[in-house]
Amino acid sequence: TCKKAIEERFTKYTSSLGLIELRQEIATHYQKKYGVQVDPEQVIVTEGTSPAMLLTFAVLLSSGDHIIVSNPHYPCYPAFIQFLRGQPNYVRVKEEDGFQYRPGAIRKAISKKTRAIVINSPSNPTGNLLSDAAMKEIADLAGRNRWIVSDEIYHGLSYGGAEHTALEYAPGAFVLNGFSKAYAMTGWRLGYLIYP
């Protein structure tokens, strides 16, 4: 399909939100796989998930605000947070505990400056998959001026359990995803953001 598009010179600018057909397919995918309703107007197609992450943190952060991140974590999380003059607030996950991101530990880390909690399940670098119960508990920690940011780029690559989207528990979550991992399309730099 991509080769055909190039051959037919379909290489023009699109809407800055991305092709509506792709955004509709992303919404349909979330309905079919997870049973959640996503309006295609909530989807922004990006040049990979990093721009989606940067957009999300830029919307959520003012100088000095905090975002809760597991430790260990994907290195871009604190880099982008600090670039935007925010502060990562780390919650340690331990190997002897199966690298579980514990809702109780997250709750203790929340302050008046906390604007978001980052979920990454399956996790980079640990591969940990959050349980249904943990996802629900973490989603319940969202509230007024505090959001869930769910990095779902490794969905489709879990072995031994079903992954869940944060949208199943927190319809107002920001979801980052893309095509590079599950579809082996890293060079295409194609990601997306689903926003409330």
With 0.75 as the threshold, say if the pTM is over it: yes
Task: Please count the CA atoms within 13 angstroms of the CA of 152 that sit on its side-chain side.
Answer: 25
Task: Please count the CA atoms within 13 angstroms of the CA of 149 that sit on its side-chain side.
Answer: 27
- Could you say which residues of the chain have pLDDT below 50? none
The C-alpha angle with vertex 151 and arms to 145 and 156, in degrees rounded to 5, equals: 145
- pLDDT tens-place string over residues 117-155: 999 998 889 888 898 899 999 999 998 889 999 999 988
Separate counts of helices (H) and strands (E) for the chain: 6, 7
Reduced to 3 states (helix: H, G, I; strand: E, B; else coil), residue 134 is helix
| pLDDT score, position 91 | 97
Nearest to 57 by CA among 68, 48, 47: 68
| pLDDT score, position 1 | 67
| pLDDT score, position 187 | 65
| pLDDT score, position 98 | 85
Provide, rounded to the nearest whole percent, the portion of the chain with pLDDT above 90.
66
| Contact (CB, 8 A) for 69 and 77 | yes
| pLDDT score, position 172 | 92
